[in-house]
Structure 1
Amino acid sequence: MKNSLILFLFSLLIISCKPPVTEADLAKINGYWEIQKVELPDGEKKEYKVNETIDFFSVKDQKGFRQKVMPQLNGTYLTNDIKEIVKISKEKGTYFINYATNYGKWKEEVIEIQDSVLILKNKNNLEYHYKRHLPFSIK
């Protein structure tokens, strides 16, 4: 029993030790991101196998936009030209993406960002797990 408890605590420590997001990491947000799953506060997960739309981020000097786009079979993307204004801020050592549209404002905490992984958390503690979208073509 004691060994199991030690192993559990050690595992918990390893899992919770993600490197902090740095300002240099923020450049990795640029590009196309496809949602993989949403984790609810109670631990339940909603998996996304196929996505009709993906998110495109374009950020420079911590300002830019996010836009929903639809990948096409020829490798291009369709869009409706609606863009959410994005500003990245830092509060108490944590980075946030602040969104603004004509209809509202909200923000999401940047939990993790790597070359092919993006995890964001909203005010309702929903975690959005994204993977880097790779364009495809049937040419």
Structure 2
Amino acid sequence: MKNAFRILLLSLFFVGCQQKIQPTDIAKINGYWEIEKVVFDKGEDKDYKMNESYDYFEIANNKGIRKKVMPQLNGTFLVNDAFENVVVRFDKEKVFLEYKTNYAKWSEELIVLSDKELVLKNAEKKEYHYKKTGPINLTGDGEKTK
């Protein structure tokens, strides 16, 4: 009985420590995010050592866009005209990113959001773990990247 009580107490502690995302936190999502790993619903991970593209978010007043960008070695990004409209939806204790294109609609739950970390969970229960990133500049010329 003692062990069951300890397990219950520990479970409540971890649930209570889960980050609650506030409307003021949403501005942290703006910028470039590089995927680090995907955690599947059965617990397996797929790590990403290097990425050819980043996700770029630009959200204001709970509306904005997400687009794929490809970093270049000189600190610039290759972009195209494709993007997804994004709406942030608060539902009780949860926060969702609602995406829409001309071809599809879908939603992801915002699990973690900080200055350096982003975790999104899709309908298939896959968790996408991102780290905040920026331009790459390997030219060594000392110029600031854009």
With the length of structure 1 as denominator, give the TM-score of the two structures: 0.89
What is the identity percentage for the equivalent residue pairs of Structure 1 and Structure 2?
48
In the aligned structure 1, how far is the partner of 2:14 from the partner of 2:130? 18
Q: Give the counterpart letter for 1:18 in structure 2.
A: Q
Question: CA offsets per residue over residues 54-101 of structure 1, 9 Å max, x none?
Answer: 100000001010000000000000012201001111112311100001
Alignment: residue pair count: 137
Q: Give the counterpart letter for 1:22 in structure 2.
A: Q
Which structure dedicates a bigger proportion of its chain to strand?
A: 1
1:46 is aligned to 46
CA separation of 1:11 and 1:133: change in aligned 2, threshold 3 A: farther
Deviation at 1:9, TM superposition (A): 6.1
**SS class of match (1:28):** helix
In the aligned structure 2, how far is the partner of 1:93 from the partner of 1:118? 17
The 10-residue stretch of structure 1 (51-60 or 90-99) with the greater mean CA deviation from structure 2: 90-99
Which consecutive aligned stretches of 4+ in structure 1 deviate over 3 angstroms post-superposition? 8-16
**Structure 2: tracts of 5 or more residues without a match:** 140-146
Q: Does 1:69 align with 2:88?
A: no
1:102 is aligned to 102
**SS class of match (1:118):** strand
In the aligned structure 1, how far is the partner of 2:135 from the partner of 2:30? 15
In the aligned structure 1, how far is the partner of 2:87 from the partner of 2:112? 17
1:115 is aligned to 115
State the structure with more CA Rg. 2
With the length of structure 2 as denominator, give the TM-score of the two structures: 0.85
In the aligned structure 1, how far is the partner of 2:108 from the partner of 2:62? 14
- The root-mean-square deviation of aligned C-alpha atoms, in Å, is 1.9
In the aligned structure 2, how far is the partner of 1:107 from the partner of 1:116? 22
Question: CA offsets per residue over residues 94-126 of structure 1, 9 Å max, x none?
Answer: 111000011100010000100000000011111
1:81 is aligned to 81
Q: Give the counterpart letter for 1:27 in structure 2.
A: A
Q: Give the counterpart letter for 2:129 in structure 1.
A: H
